[in-house]
Amino acid sequence: MAKRILVVEDNNLNRKLFCDVLTSQGYEVEPVADGLDALDRARDFIPDLVIMDIQLPNVSGLDLIESAKRDPQLREIPMLAVTAYAGKGDEERIREAGAEGYLAKPVSIGPFMQAVRSLI
């Protein structure tokens, strides 16, 4: 059975790119554009990995990661944070929130897939 990945990304092009690349590699992918829907979709979809944009409208990806890690149904799901925030201390803050992986945008396909495979 294909591993399942939830992609939480508000940028249409990034979301489509991530989903297309993951689908081409045999993963079952569920795209989410609005962070407010992310945790409910995760509970319904039960992914093996969540790829989380940090800068989302309406809610911070950081807050979503923290909420997921407090949720008994979601806490064991690895989180890969993908963000344009790549300043000093950002990776540390994101990992402290509970993300197991971190990538700075723009993301190259090779490192992206390497990060995905390492977390699944």
pLDDT at 89: 84
The predicted model gives 72-97 an average pLDDT of: 90
d(CA 96, CA 46): 23
Domain interval for residue 13: 4-119
CATH, residue 111: 3.40.50.2300
- Phi-psi map region of 38: left, alpha, beta (phi>0 left; psi -120 to 50 alpha): alpha
Count CB-CB contacts under 10 A for residue 30: 17
Domain count within the chain:
1
Q: Sorting pLDDT into bands at 50, 70 and 90, what band is 87?
A: confident
Phi, psi of 43 (to 5 degrees): -65, -35
- pLDDT digits over 7-23, tens only? 999 999 999 999 999 99
